[in-house]
Amino acid sequence: MAAGAFKVYGAALEAISKNTVDLDSNTFRMILVTSTHTPNQATHSTYADVSANEVVGTGYTSSGKLLTATVTRSSLVVTFDVDDQSWTSSTITAKYAVIVKDADANGTLASTDALLCYCDLETGGGSISTTAGTFTVTINASGVFTLTAS
């Protein structure tokens, strides 16, 4: 399914500005979160804010999937993008996809790992499910998010 628009967490914007999150060289992971989670773009900042609601199911492993991230610039627009993700032979139900900085790049997220952004996978209000199928998050062709100078 095509991912909705990603929303950057306020703490992530600050971390990018202070260079504690480097979009070009840090390791990022995508996790899936259930509808029991209520995102708060202004106050959520670490994996601890979402971990209790991470998906549990066949074909899904805690700490999600490693992402290949790219940063490009065209004139006054910088685009952060990642590769599409899929979980094959999965039986899961998810509402949100969340991108998290894996600070030690060991494949297991720590409670203090920084949240970067999230998207609603089903903007119509529900969740997306698979039963012994492939759960896919397709990133928008224009990227995850952009930073624009004015």
CA 137 from chain centre, in angstroms, equals 10
- The H or E element that residue 65 is part of is strand 65-66
Q: What is the pLDDT of residue 1?
A: 60
Residue 23, both tokens: 């979009």
Q: What is the pLDDT of residue 12?
A: 97
Q: What is the pLDDT of residues 55-101, one digit of tens each?
A: 999 999 999 999 999 999 999 999 999 999 999 999 999 999 999 99
Asked whether residue 2 carries a pLDDT value surpassing 80, the answer given is no
**Residue matched to tokens 């971990």:** 51
Q: What is the pLDDT of residue 121?
A: 95
- In order of 31, 33, 64, 101, the CA distances from 56 in angstroms are 11, 9, 11, 20
pTM for the predicted model, two decimal places: 0.96
Q: Where are the alpha helices (DSSP H) in 65-130?
A: none
